[in-house]
Amino acid sequence: MTTFSIARSLRATVMLGASLAALQAYGDDTTPIVSYLDGLHSYAARFEQQRFDETGELLETAHGDCSIERPGRFRWNYLDPYKQVIVSDSHKLWIYDEDLAQVTVNDVNAGAPGTPAELLSAEFEVSTRYAVKHIGVKDGFDWYGLKPKDAGTQFQDVELGLADGEVKAMRLTDNLGQTTLLRFEAVKRNAPLAAGLFEFTPPVGVDVVTGGAP
């Protein structure tokens, strides 16, 4: 897998964690997502991730599983068509690409303002940087949008889809017009998660690279 693909996977991963944390303080027609997220402490699921170009053509499909625990901890396992693990303990971010035999380590707050890494770690009023709204029902999901107010951020739009009372979809559109769509199944909300999920020790023999913004 290319470095570009790794970066895209990381952005999608961190934006999921950021979005699950960010949509809490809104009322009116965003009440269903707020009610869901107000009581959310952990989230685990299997996922399918599809990436589309700006014309809507499918570029890549990947599968795996994820575990998220507030604040700022997650483990994202890509199982096919490549194997990759992305782990955050809320302080450090590890990206292990098995095909490259390489681990990249970053501070969670290493990203510049407006990046997904900054969203996950910094403290600010979400309403000052994002416009949140209810989009409507489509393809079996009730969609809610989180739109950056800062044109310098890496994504134009982030959307979360509710179905059967759970967050089961996420759609991200980047500044090139490409879209990442994630669908989740076997969702476990607020189930106990092992602390070791959010720890990572590089395997023996792999290259470890420190630094470099995600």
Q: List per-block mean pLDDT (blocks of 10 residues) for the chain, which spans 214 residues.
A: 55 62 57 74 91 94 90 88 90 91 83 42 52 87 83 75 92 86 94 92 93 58
Which residues are registered as beta bridge partners of 172? 158, 180
Whole-Å CA distances, 154 to 52, 56, 178: 16, 19, 11
Domains and CATH numbers, the chain: 3-210 (2.50.20.10)
Cα 83 from Cα 95, distance rounded (Å): 11
Do 9 and 47 meet the contact criterion of CB atoms below 8 Å apart?
no
- 202 cis-preceded (ω within 30 degrees of 0): no
Strand 207-210 to 102-107 pairing? parallel
Please report the pLDDT score of residue 111 as a whole number: 45
Q: What is the DSSP string of 60-115?
A: EEEEEEEEEETTTEEEEEEEESS-EEEEEESSEEEEEETTTTEEEEEEGGGSPTTS
Sign of CA dihedral 63, 91, 204, 96: positive
Cα 69 from Cα 193, distance rounded (Å): 8
Please report the pLDDT score of residue 133 as a whole number: 86
Cα 108 from Cα 20, distance rounded (Å): 17
- Kindly calculate the radius of gyration of the chain based on its CA atoms and give it in whole angstroms: 16
State phi, psi for 161 to the nearest 5 degrees.
-115, 125
Please report the pLDDT score of residue 29 as a whole number: 81
Cα 29 from Cα 163, distance rounded (Å): 16
How many Cβ atoms from other residues are within 10 Å of residue 163's Cβ? 16
Please report the pLDDT score of residue 113 as a whole number: 45
